[in-house]
Amino acid sequence: MRLDTPADHTNEAERLLRTAAQYPEDREPLFLRAAAHLELAGDRPRATTLYDDLLSSSPQPENPHLIRALKAANLWEYGHEAEARAIIEGLLALSPSDATAWEVIGETLESHDELEASEAAFTAAARALAPDTEDELPYPTQSLLMGRHRVRRLLARPHDDWDVLADRLHRGTVPLDELHDPKRTWALGSSDPAELRAEIVRLRSELGSYRTALSRPFPVAVLLWPEEELAELLASYPELEAEYPTHEAHLTDLEASLRELAAAGTPNLGIVQGTVPSYEAFAASEATPPSNPALLPQYATTLAARGRATPWPPPRTAPCWCGSGAAYGECHGKAGV
């Protein structure tokens, strides 16, 4: 569902809060997503209230550092700079272990022209989370290095090992150095159609690599059905056979879809695993028959919002997401698969 207006975002926040009431075990990710929608709706005070509710709730949240970072970013946006700075200084002293919390801190400082402080935060994060530039890194850490690369380009810093690693990890069609070139701003005033078309291509790539408030902790999720679950699903709802002709085709299509999204610059991709009882319960909550194919992506999105996604791609030596037991690089991670 496309959300275009503040009212759309407010309605989606309310839906997520109702879901949180139904699934209290998933309260934290659902509240965070609701808060992001409220920020986009312009209701920043209410978003702050949700962050405070999470921080003061019992049991303690799983990721208090991320919640505090998001709260600081939100506060600064509606005039509470001193409080936001105090939260950020406290987080920097604690040195969060979560890459996304670090990235929110760095982006918040960057967005308010605190480039030196932003670069220092990103570098501290890289030192803590990516000490060996030869290691395979999870997506949140890769994204953090991309942000650091962007800020250092704005500061005209020479490339270091982490910048080289960011260049290597970048999958977009536009090179990272070009994407983060501060001089590109001048191209927007050009009257040359070729230059403007080239800038549109770069901007599209950049939109895919930047994290918006909604995408920060939440992946774009693709739905995976284990073989037994898929067989049960199709036995109960044969109308869905057009979506899933065979389990093997389902796995192949899933990997292909994720690769296409990654090639288009979509960040923070993930996989969520479906079960028939969970899907049927979701269909009932939406008052929609489970046989409706349009319900499938909504189900995947809701599972992701509830924190059920695993990041894609896994490291090449890690077990493949399909459950075969083989390493990803020898299974669906093979070139050409």
User: Largest alpha-carbon pair distance within the chain?
Assistant: 60
The residue ranking higher by pLDDT, 230 or 19, is: 230
pLDDT higher than 80, residue 185: no
- Flag the least confident range among 65-69, 95-99, 252-256: 95-99
Percent of the residues in the chain that have a pLDDT greater than 90, as a whole number: 52
Q: How far apart are CA 285 and CA 14, in angstroms?
A: 14
Could you report the per-residue pLDDT of 26-59, keeping only the tens digit for each? 899 899 989 999 998 999 999 999 999 999 988 8
- For 70-77, the CB contacts below 8 A with 24+ separation are 70/32, 70/35, 70/36, 70/104, 70/216, 72/104, 72/105, 72/108, 73/104, 73/107, 73/108, 74/35, 74/39, 74/44, 74/47, 74/48, 75/44, 75/48, 76/108, 76/112, 77/39, 77/44
- Cβ atoms within 10 Å, residue 265: 19
Angle at 157 between CA 153 and CA 162, to 5 degrees: 80
- Flag the least confident range among 43-57, 92-106, 166-180: 166-180
Q: What is the mean pLDDT of the chain?
A: 86
Length of the chain: 337
- pLDDT for the residue numbered 22: 85
Taking Cα atoms as reference points, which of 332, 173, 179 lies closest to residue 262? Answer: 173
- Flag the least confident range among 32-46, 108-122, 280-294: 280-294
Q: Which two tokens stand for residue 15?
A: 């839906």
Q: Which two tokens stand for residue 299?
A: 């189900």
Q: How far apart are CA 181 and CA 161, in angstroms?
A: 19
- Give the pLDDT band (50/70/90) at residue 210: very low
Pairing of strands 220-224, 269-273: parallel
- pLDDT for the residue numbered 275: 93
Residue type at 43 in one-letter notation: D
Q: How far apart are CA 328 and CA 314, in angstroms?
A: 7
Q: Which H or E run contains 26?
A: none
